[in-house]
Structures are given as C-alpha cells and as structure tokens.
C-alpha cells in the first residue's frame, strides 16, 4: 500500500463530515418517504398559491361609498358633479348644464372611487386631499370643514397610537378621501397578506416543522435500531461528530428544498402581485427574511427532533407535543407578537425575523392597515382584516435590524444546545 | 464481548482497554482496528464500492484515496467483479465479504470479526475462511468469534471459550478437543427402515452404539462426531437407504459449555 498523507485534525474532520453528509444525502434520496414528504409540502404550498392567484385575478366590485355616481333626479348629471357645481341633486331642473350650457354630464363611473387615499406620509400628521371637492363647499361651515380641529380645513389627522404598536388613530374632516379605490386596496393588501401568511405559516412553520419531523427524527435512531450504525461507530469518529454530520446531510437537502420553494413562490407572487412594472422587486426583502427564518427554523427543529429520536425509539411521539406547542406559539405571534411566552419557543424567534424583514421592506403596512380598516368611514375594505391578522410588529421592541440579529443568535444557540444534548444522549446509548 | 471492545456497550464492571485506551470514551484506537459486526442489515442501496469507500473516508482519506483503497480490499476479498453492484442484490457470503472489505480498508493491525460465518453457505464459508487465513499470513492479529467449533478449527488453533462471561477454556484447540472427545455425541436419523440402516452404519469405526426408540428412528452414539457426520451421507447413499431427517439432539452449545465449565470447576 502506498504511504498515505496523514490528514491534519481539520482536514480529517471535514473529510469525515463530507463523507457522512454525502452518505446521508444519498440515503435520503434513495428513500421514497423523502420524496413523498417533499412533494406533499410542495403540493400544499401550491394549493395555497392557487387561492392567491384566484384572489389576484378576481374583479373587485368598486363600491361607491359616498353615492356620488348616482343620479337621483334623473337629469343626466351624477350627484357628485351636481355637488361640485352646487346644484340641487333632487331637482331635475337644476343641474350644471343649466348654469353653463358647455358643461356636459360626466360618465357616472368617473364618480366611483373618485376620492382615493392620498396618504404617503408615515409620520403622524396631516394627510389626505379632498379630490372631488365635496368638503370645501360654500354651504358648509368652517367647523364642518375642520372637524378634527387642527386648523387645516379638509384634511385628515393621523395620530400614532403610543400604546398600540404601530397603529394609528384617524381623525378625518368630513368628506375627505371618503371614496377610495376598493380594487387597488384589495389587491395590495391581499397580496401582502398572502406573502406574510404563506411565508410565516406555510414555509417557516409547516414546512419548517413537518419536513424535519419526518426526515430528521430517524436520522440516528433508524441506524441504531437496524444495526447499520455499527459500521459508522467502528471508525475513528466521535459520536457527536456522527450526529452533527448526519444532520448536515439532512440540511443540504432541506436548505436547497426551502430555497427552491421560496424562489418559486417569490416569482409567482412577484409576477401576479399588483405593481407598476412587470415584477414586484420591493417584496424581495420580505422573501429574504422568510428564507432566513425558515432555514433557521428547520435547522433548530432538525437538531431537536433528531435528539428526540436518540432519546427514545418512538421519538415522533415526543416530537408531536412540541409541534403542538409550536402551533400554539405561531398563533400567538399573530395576535401578540410581544408575548413573553414566545421566548420559550423556536417559532416565536423565527417569526420575529419575518416580521422584522416585512417591517423593513413594507414600512407603510401599518398605515395601509389603518387606511383599510377606516375605509373612508365605511371600512373595513376587502383585504384590510386579513392584512391586520398576518402582519405583526416585531415583538422585541429593538428595531427591525436588531430583531433579526438577536433572533438569529437565539436560534443558533437553540440549535447548538440541541446538538449538545443530542450528542450527550447518543454517547450514553449502548447499541446492541 | 466484541461490542464492549468496540465501545458499543459500556462495561458494567471492570474496564476495557483497546490499545491502552477506553473505547467507550475515545474512538481514536479504531484507526488501527477493523471491525466486522455480526448484524446482517447493511446499506442495501449502495454498491459495494460506494459502501467500502464511504466508510474508508471516515478514516480521514480523501475521496480519491478511499476509492483506490476500496478497490484494493474488494479485490482482496474477491469481489472486484461485482464492486459496482448494489449490496441489496448480493448473497449472504458476498455481503459478509463486503463487510470484511470495509473493515480492512484502513489496513488495520487488529481485525475483529463477530460471527463472520453465520448463515453462510459452504462455498461462502470456505471463501471467508480463506480470506481470514490470508490475513493471518499477512501478520495481522485476527479475532474471530463463532459458536461453530468445527469452523474455528479450520482457521486457527488458538481459541478462547467463554460461557456466560466466564472463561471456560483457553489455549490450543487440540488440547481442548481431546477433552471434548470424551463426551459422546448422539446423531438422530429418521428413515424407512431403522434396523437395516443401523446394520450398515455400525461397521463404521467411530460408532460405538445404536438404539431404536421406534420403527423408523435410529440414535447413533459416537466419539468422533465430525468424522461420522462427514461420512454419513456416503454410507446412506451407498446402501440405498431413504433418510428424511438427520440431526444432533444433544449437540447444542449449552450442553457442551456446561460440560466444559463443569470439567474446569
């Protein structure tokens, strides 16, 4: 035999790591169950995406909130047009055409959604423009025109609620922004709701927990019970290394799967979502945070479930209560993202990452929610409630970037702790 | 015993040292050991070459080195022509040889084989025993466990007999065998005519007694179990007897060991 170059500690370690990870990856690839789990996950996400595509291609009824498109006196001039010129909406002998023969009646559809939101400021203050001129009319008193008493007639006052995280109080002078564009609002808010819902509940939670539940729980245990672990353990390699490298093989598959899945979702939602161009590049920040959160979640769950598998031969039974706990926690993040109990979960920290990413990419979402809930005094508009449910302000109260960094560190720590526990348990197991 | 040595089990009392190191705590000595576990389950989805080279890489070899070594050891155990076939399609003997190849890949000083002959057909046994003898000739230390004494005899002369954790015999096989020869063995035959069968078999020098529990059953007492067993088929065929069952009612390991244990006490 030719004299071999003896490996150094580090090169020896990564050769072993690569060998076991590669072995694990190939082993998973040869198993039917792997493909079933991955395909079911993919199919579930595809079904949810179908609902989204349906929502994006549907026509939303444009609601005439202020009745400006109606013509109550049948003189051919819509009420809104008559308001504008101060003629009587109930008298067919009083209309703008009589004031000046050159004024022709408008198409009634012009008077639907004619007073849309024009709020581009996130800071609290004065927003809103009375686009259809029904606020600043001669027959209204100054106190009617400035009902919110900020000294500016025909505007809306936004006040940032000091207690309700990122929510606003809306104080409107009457007849301002009272007939918003329902379809534009619905498309935007449903789109954002979908990205958040499928990102948080679908990819990070469901995929993040079920793929490792079926694929990582048996990584060590199956080899222990079938006896094939003997081959690996008869080699000069520590059991904690075997534990880690087996998981690396699982991660290689899981991480690639998540990346492909999220990329597909991002492409579909980017093309289908409402935008000025052909693609919503602005969402990529949110998808990045979904990617990061799901990778971290699957990493921690993989370690955790593999450890449970080592602990007991029916590790799945131990994993199910944990999955139920995490489900409870994920629902908690939707309603109370700052609840202290979330610190004792994996998913709470992963959700923080998505929430923080969304807060960075879509800074105007809290405003969009309030806008839709108010809806010109006729809310909530379609999509506002959904967005309100799936949007959460990152719960740590330390800013978006800080939240991402801290959550990543906590999740890494959780993964390391599970590895340590799993290694110790594995080392103490006698293998028949 | 081998599982203790390989750090699979923790000693309940006393201590185990492999090259001076406790294998339960430190896997380092396995760099010089090749271990063939008794378990039949293998990674059936891999080819023999993949199996051997994957585990070779756990000795810190590069992919290339591992492949070269794997080809070398598969050739040594005589599997080079099926190296690229899946283990799942192998016979028991081929699987056993693949396991031996995987244990040899690091060129170990000590080779431990746990029941390597279990469940193998005679041809496979011969091949495996040849491999083991080859290893001995190469100057390697080979530890083989088996409960089939006859086969051990063909491999080595130095044996250790353990019974329920106690050492009952240690040393040269012939010396131990002499003691064993003092226990009579019984062979049971069931055929169409037990008495006619007995007439032809009594002439054999190793037979010292026969008895007939009933018309079709024949019990033969012998001191040279191995020789008689080898010649029995010929005796039966030459004399045109029909025999449906041949077995050894008292040849279980337990009684043998009890005898040895009693003899040493």
Mean pLDDT calculated for residue range A250-272:
97
C-alpha to C-alpha distance for B262 and A239, rounded to whole angstroms:
42
A212–chain B nearest CA distance, Å:
22
Record: contact B59-A236, CB cut-off 8 A: yes
Q: Does B234 touch chain A (CB under 8 A)?
A: no
Domains and CATH numbers, chain B: 2-156 (3.40.50.300), 179-264 (3.30.70.920)
pLDDT digits (tens, 9 = 90+) for A110-156: 888 878 787 766 666 778 878 877 787 777 888 888 888 888 888 88
Record: contact B37-A23, CB cut-off 8 A: no
pLDDT at position A22 is 95
C-alpha to C-alpha distance for A82 and A88, rounded to whole angstroms:
7
The partner residue sitting opposite A236, judged by closest CB among B9, B30, B99, is B30
pLDDT digits (tens, 9 = 90+) for A357-379: 999 999 889 889 988 998 888 77
Range of A116-120, A292-296, B26-30, B94-98 with top mean pLDDT: A292-296
Q: Does A47 touch chain B (CB under 8 A)?
A: no
**Residue A3: other Cβ atoms inside 10 A:** 5
> Which residues in chain B touch residue A238, judged by CB atoms under 8 angstroms apart?
27
**Nearest alpha-carbon partner for B100 in B133, B132, B134, B140:** B132
* Secondary structure class of A36 (helix, strand, coil): helix
C-alpha to C-alpha distance for A315 and A364, rounded to whole angstroms:
45
Tokens of A214: 């079926």
The partner residue sitting opposite A226, judged by closest CB among B41, B54, B72, is B41
> For A151-155, A381-385, B84-88, B140-144, which range has the lowest pLDDT when averaged over its residues?
A151-155
Record: contact A230-B8, CB cut-off 8 A: yes
**Nearest alpha-carbon partner for A111 in A166, A179, A58, A59:** A179
> Which residues in chain A touch residue B101, judged by CB atoms under 8 angstroms apart?
none
Q: Does A1 touch chain B (CB under 8 A)?
A: yes
> For A343-352, B56-65, B91-100, B164-173, which range has the lowest pLDDT when averaged over its residues?
B164-173
Q: Does B3 touch chain A (CB under 8 A)?
A: yes
Q: Does B107 touch chain A (CB under 8 A)?
A: yes
Nearest CA in chain B to A237: B27
Instruction: Report phi then psi at A157, rounded to 5.
Output: -100, 130
Burial class (CB in 10 A: 0-12, 13-18, 19+), B151: middle
> Which residues in chain B touch residue A424, judged by CB atoms under 8 angstroms apart?
none
| pTM for this predicted structure | 0.84
Q: Between the CA atoms of A198, A203, A204 and A209, what dihedral angle is there, to the nearest 10 degrees?
A: 130
Among left, alpha and beta (phi > 0; psi -120 to 50; other), residue A36 is alpha
> For B22-36, B52-66, B179-193, which range has the lowest pLDDT when averaged over its residues?
B179-193
ipTM given for this complex:
0.82
C-alpha to C-alpha distance for A158 and A163, rounded to whole angstroms:
15
C-alpha to C-alpha distance for A296 and A346, rounded to whole angstroms:
9
**Residue pair A285/A401 in contact by the 8 Å Cβ criterion:** no
Mean pLDDT calculated for residue range B219-239:
79
C-alpha to C-alpha distance for B2 and B115, rounded to whole angstroms:
10
> Which residues in chain A touch residue B46, judged by CB atoms under 8 angstroms apart?
26
**Any residues with CB less than 8 A from the CB of A299 and at least 6 apart, and which?**
A251, A411, A415
pLDDT higher than 90, residue A14: no
Q: What percent of chain B has pLDDT over 90?
A: 25
**Residue pair A153/A135 in contact by the 8 Å Cβ criterion:** yes
Q: Name the band, by pLDDT with cuts 50, 70 and 90, for residue A201.
A: very high
Q: Does A32 touch chain B (CB under 8 A)?
A: no
Q: Does A397 touch chain B (CB under 8 A)?
A: no
Record: contact A230-B29, CB cut-off 8 A: no
**Residue pair A77/A105 in contact by the 8 Å Cβ criterion:** yes
Q: Does A232 touch chain B (CB under 8 A)?
A: yes
C-alpha to C-alpha distance for A137 and A151, rounded to whole angstroms:
17
**Any residues with CB less than 8 A from the CB of A237 and at least 6 apart, and which?**
A16, B27, B30, B58
């Amino acid at each position: 035999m030719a004299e071999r170059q003896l490996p150094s500690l580090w090169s020896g370690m990564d050769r072993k790591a690569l060998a076991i990870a590669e072995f694990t990856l190939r082993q998973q690839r040869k198993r039917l169950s792997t493909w079933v789990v991955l395909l079911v996950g993919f199919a579930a996400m595809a079904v949810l995406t179908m609902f989204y595509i349906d929502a994006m291609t549907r026509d939303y009824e444009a609601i005439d909130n202020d009745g400006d498109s109606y013509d109550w006196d049948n003189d051919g001039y819509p009420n809104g047009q008559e308001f504008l010129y101060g003629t009587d909406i109930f008298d067919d002998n009083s209309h703008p055409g009589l004031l000046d023969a050159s004024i022709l009646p408008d198409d009634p559809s012009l008077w639907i959604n004619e007073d849309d939101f024009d709020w581009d400021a996130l800071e609290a203050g004065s927003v809103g423009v009375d686009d259809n001129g029904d606020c600043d009319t001669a027959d209204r008193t100054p106190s009617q025109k400035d009902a919110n008493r900020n000294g500016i007639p025909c505007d809306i006052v936004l006040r940032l609620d000091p207690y309700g995280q990122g929510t606003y109080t809306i104080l409107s002078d009457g007849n301002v922004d009272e007939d918003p564009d329902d379809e534009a609002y619905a498309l935007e808010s449903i789109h954002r709701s979908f990205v958040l819902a499928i990102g948080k509940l679908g990819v990070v939670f469901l995929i993040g927990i079920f793929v490792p539940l079926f694929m990582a729980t048996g990584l060590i245990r199956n080899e222990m019970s079938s006896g094939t672990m003997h081959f690996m353990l008869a080699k000069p390699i520590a059991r904690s290394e075997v534990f880690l490298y087996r998981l690396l093989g699982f991660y290689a598959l899981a991480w690639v799967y998540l990346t492909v899945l999220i990329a597909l979702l991002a492409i579909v939602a980017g093309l289908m979502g409402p935008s000025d161009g052909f693609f919503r590049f602005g969402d990529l920040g949110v998808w990045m945070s979904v990617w990061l959160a799901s990778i971290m979640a699957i990493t921690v769950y993989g370690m955790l479930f593999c450890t449970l598998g080592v602990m007991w031969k029916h590790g799945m039974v131990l994993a199910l209560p944990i999955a139920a706990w995490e489900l409870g926690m994920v629902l908690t993040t939707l309603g109370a993202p700052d609840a202290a109990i979330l610190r004792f979960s994996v998913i709470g920290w992963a959700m923080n990452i998505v929430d923080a990413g969304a807060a960075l990419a879509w800074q105007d979402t809290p405003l969009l929610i309030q806008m839709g809930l108010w809806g010109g005094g006729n809310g909530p508009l379609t999509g506002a409630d959904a967005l309100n449910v799936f949007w959460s302000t990152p719960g740590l109260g330390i800013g978006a970037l800080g939240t991402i960094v801290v959550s990543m560190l906590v999740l890494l720590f959780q993964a390391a702790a599970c590895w340590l526990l799993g290694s110790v348990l594995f080392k103490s197991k006698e293998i028949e | 015993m081998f599982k203790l040595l390989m750090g699979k089990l923790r000693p309940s009392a006393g201590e185990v040292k492999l090259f001076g190191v406790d294998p339960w705590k430190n896997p380092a000595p396995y760099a010089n050991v090749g271990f063939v576990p008794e378990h039949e389950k293998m990674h059936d989805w891999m080819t023999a070459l993949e199996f051997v080279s994957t585990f070779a890489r756990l000795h810190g070899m590069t992919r290339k080195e591992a492949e070269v070594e794997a080809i070398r050891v598969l050739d040594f155990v005589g599997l080079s022509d099926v190296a690229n076939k899946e283990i799942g399609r192998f016979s028991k003997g081929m699987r056993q040889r693949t396991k031996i190849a995987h244990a040899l890949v690091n060129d170990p000083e000590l080779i431990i084989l746990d029941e390597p002959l279990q469940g193998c057909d005679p041809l496979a046994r011969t091949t495996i025993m040849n491999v083991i003898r080859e290893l001995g000739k190469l100057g390697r230390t080979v530890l083989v466990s088996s409960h089939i004494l006859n086969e051990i005899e063909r491999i080595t002369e130095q044996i250790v007999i353990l019974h329920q954790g106690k050492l009952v015999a240690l040393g040269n096989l012939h010396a131990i065998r002499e003691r064993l020869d003092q226990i009579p063995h019984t062979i049971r035959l069931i055929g169409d005519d037990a008495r006619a069968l007995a007439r032809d078999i009594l002439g054999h020098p190793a037979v010292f007694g026969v008895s007939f529990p009933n018309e079709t059953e024949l019990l033969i007492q012998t001191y040279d179990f191995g020789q008689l067993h080898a010649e029995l088929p010929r005796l039966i065929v030459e004399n045109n007897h029909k025999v449906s069952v041949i077995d050894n009612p008292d040849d279980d390991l337990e009684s043998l060991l009890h005898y040895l244990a009693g003899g040493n006490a």
